[in-house]
Amino acid sequence: MAMWVFGYGSLIWKAGFNYDDRVVGFIKGYRRVFYQGSTDHRGTPEFPGRTVTLEPADGEVCWGVAYKVSKKEDQEVALTYLEVREKQYNEKAYLDFFTDPAATTPAVSGVMVYIGSPDKRHNQNYLGPAPLDEIAKQIIDAEGPSGPNRDYLFHLESALLEIGCLDKHVNDLANEVRRILTRTGLTDS
């Protein structure tokens, strides 16, 4: 039986594991938000970066990609890899994945997705909402072992546009980061 993994952040452009198929589509009832702190990839414990997580949102959809992993050995390697990579996300959900906005039946059921919940008892890295300019400043200043936090934001913006998705939250945030960088004389990386 194949395993399916939904990527809505860096998994869109960097899977990091073997897969048989990569399908563009969406999940229903969630929106992508820069509310998850990153102290291991795009920030440090002293200066956390911000990465995306999912927030329940009636009537909304979150576009991304689903990876099909068929071989048992590839599934085991992918799960081991993802458990380390996504360790700051405290929940796994199995959701319906759609490829056609008009469809009432999912293309795939039971697609695995990692979520950083807002429950601070179980997710100490959840940062939550903040004004756009504050999130932008935090992203500009944060850098971790995987590189500057702004690179994550700009890669995500680009990857979403490549799959035909204009995500208002991501685009507004990327534009605010560019505005601040231009105003302060810095450049985007």
d(CA 113, CA 95): 7
The tokens of 56 are what? 């329940």
- Known catalytic residues are 86
- What is the C-alpha to C-alpha distance for residues 127 and 38, in angstroms, rounded to an integer? 9
Chain-centre distance of CA 135, in angstroms? 16
Long-range contacts of 105-112 (CB under 8 A, 24+ apart): 107/23, 107/25, 108/4, 108/23, 108/66, 110/4, 111/4, 111/5, 111/6, 111/27, 111/66, 112/3, 112/4, 112/5, 112/6
State how far Cα 39 lies from the chain centre.
Answer: 15
**Structural tokens at position 29:** 């009832």
